[in-house]
A = this chain, B = another copy of it.
């Protein structure tokens, strides 16, 4: 079955309580990076059915390896530091279908 979105990307935006033992993706600019990805995909004309959807999500439970995002339907997980990492994920994976190995979280 074809996927409704060719690439459906979920950014963890979880913010834990202060003093929590596990890290929070929200403390690593996750929301800003999600917005940046969404804008870039839109600017490239790739947003929408049959193409790409950039989504917000709650805790994806990859906290220690984050900030985390996942690209479905492949189920490829990434971490990132800044906008240049997001740009590389968008331009390589979402535009050209080529996984960015250096940012990939191991399964």
Contacts and interface: CB of A to CB of B under 8 A. Distances in A.
Contact of A56 (B57, B76, B77): B57
A97 interface: no
A10 B57 CA distance: 8
Number of copies: 2
30 contacts: A1-B74, A1-B76, A1-B107, A2-B75, A2-B107, A3-B75, A4-B62, A4-B75, A4-B77, A4-B107, A5-B75, A8-B70, A8-B75, A10-B55, A10-B57, A49-B61, A53-B60, A55-B57, A55-B59, A55-B60, A56-B57, A56-B58, A57-B57, A57-B58, A72-B72, A72-B73, A72-B75, A73-B73, A73-B74, A73-B75
